[in-house]
Amino acid sequence: ADVEQAKAFFAERQRTAPQNDALFGKYKDSNVIIVQGEAFMNFMIGQSIGGQEITPHFNELMKESQYYSHFYHQTGQGRTSDADFGANISLHPLPVGSAFVRYADHTYDSLPSILKDNGYSTNVFHAYESGFWNRYTMYQNMKYDKFYSKNDFAQDDPLGWSLSDESFFRQSVEKMSSEVTEPFYSFLITLSSHHPYALPKEKQQLDVGEFQGTMFGNYLQSVHYVDSALGKMVEDLKNRGLWENTIFMFYGDHDNSIKEQSQYEQFLGRSLNELDMTQIMNEVPLLVHLPDGAAAGTIDEPSGQLDITPSVLHLLGVSDQSYYHMGNDVYDGSSRTVVLRNGTFSDGSVFYIPSDDYIYESGACYDLSTRDKTDSNACRPGHDEATKRLHVSDTVITYDLIQRFREEDSSTATSQ
Ligand code: GP9
């Protein structure tokens, strides 16, 4: 029954004709650079402390980019690897463990494999041990041409677990311009803003005032550093002539594990309720810079990491219909329901928090127009849909169904 449910889910998805807007294929054959920022959350975007912006370069880039203001991480226990899995494979991370570790040999319709079939060079960059999160094995399965890991980078500016993000970006861009043929897809995973966020003195450029000496203050300090590295990377891409013909995306992987509500209240200067706090802990920013700075603006509808692959394919004019993806294409006008790993979901009208949420245990259905609790029946259809999606995704991953569905499809086609 589980397999039949999964089959029916994708059959329905493949039957629904997408609405292709003017952006469909507008950036065909452009390079694609996606940066996944470690613990880079949304609540501090656009905020200042003591008159100093926390993320000035991100804020500047926002003016000529699409900024998704309610973009959710959909990760579970696999943390950074789950964000990567959701964004590049467009299936839900598992309820337990990391799919990178547990099912690295199963079949997936990964973004790099699809782009490779469309003539792209595909490379992944992360300046840490290649075996962490089982990346070395998983990236081969995802069909990257090359995984540039710690040993491929000169350790010229050590920081935290590894190399500073500034040096990591500089060396990665150097490799993109000298070792990789265009069009390329480059996926970069940052590390400098990793828990517990301690930066050496000489890299601390933010006066965190009342938060000095706290982990929350260190967190702000470290994202400020990553933001400055991001600014330098964009300059570098421009100087090397790689900016104009590139779709550039930046998104956060997951929350910062700092759960003290009072710190967020102190920082934002207002009291927060369950809905505010749940959104804060689950929203990461997504920035999409299109080659001509087109379609810039803030998009308030909900979206999430699983939406990245279908949306990139839309911009490149590659139909997503035959692939086994569960994310929404943010450009085709279809459903915008975003389902988080623990069953939290939002469709832009309601926001549902399940009773086993890790901060609150009450569980509730919120009306987003009033931001008040509403009758739980308003969340019932969305809850059923969210439960189904998570279950279908788990079934497809666990039983390696993509491979099986493809074989069934081709034997049906042969017998016809
Ligand atoms: C290490 C980095 C950290 O390679 O990706 O992962 P996390 O601990 O955040 O899951």
User: Does 363 score more than 90 pLDDT?
Assistant: no
Mean pLDDT of the chain: 95
Which atom belonging to ligand 1 lies closest to the Cα atom of 135? 4
Q: How far is the CA of 25 from the centre of ligand 1 (A)?
A: 34
**81 CA from centroid of ligand 1 (Å):** 7
Give the strands of the sheet with 184-189, arranged side by side.
Answer: 146-148, 121-125, 184-189, 31-37, 246-252, 286-289, 66-68, 297-299
Q: Please tell me the distance between residue 216's alpha carbon and the centre of ligand 1 in angstroms.
A: 19
Contacts of 240 (CB under 8 A, 6+ apart): 173, 177
The CB of 399 under 6 Å from ligand 1? The reply is no
- The pLDDT, as a whole number, for residue 360 is 47
Q: Which residues have a Cβ under 8 Å from the Cβ of 110 and sit 6 or more positions away?
A: 88, 89, 141, 142, 143, 309
189-240 pLDDT per residue, tens:
999 999 999 999 999 999 999 999 999 999 999 999 999 999 999 999 999 9
> Would you place residue 71 in the very low, low, confident or very high pLDDT band (cuts 50, 70, 90)?
very high
pLDDT bracket for residue 358 (50, 70, 90): very low
CB of 132 sitting under 6 A from ligand 1: yes
Report residue 333's pLDDT band, with 50, 70 and 90 as the boundaries.
Answer: confident
Catalytic pick among 16, 55, 75, 80: 80
Stated pTM of the model: 0.97
Nearest-atom index, ligand 1, CA of 194: 9
Q: Is 181 among the catalytic positions?
A: no
| 311 contacts 331 by C-beta, under 8 angstroms | yes
Relative to the CA of 132, which ligand 1 atom is closest?
4
Instruction: Give nearest CA residue, ligand 1 atom 5.
Output: 80
Question: Is 128 close to ligand 1, i.e. is its CB under 6 Å away?
Answer: yes
Q: Please give the Cα distance from 45 to 40 (Å, whole number).
A: 9
How confident is the model over 317-338, as a mean pLDDT? Answer: 91
Dihedral (CA of 158, 164, 168, 171) sign: negative
**Rounded to whole angstroms, how far apart are CA atoms 63 and 416?**
53
For the complex shown, is ipTM > 0.90? yes
pLDDT in tens, 253-282: 999 999 999 999 999 999 999 999 999 999
Closest ligand 1 atom to the C-alpha of 126?
A: 4
- 23 alpha carbon – ligand 1 mean position (Å): 34
Alpha carbon distance, N-terminus to C-terminus of the chain? 26
Q: What is the pLDDT of residue 357?
A: 54
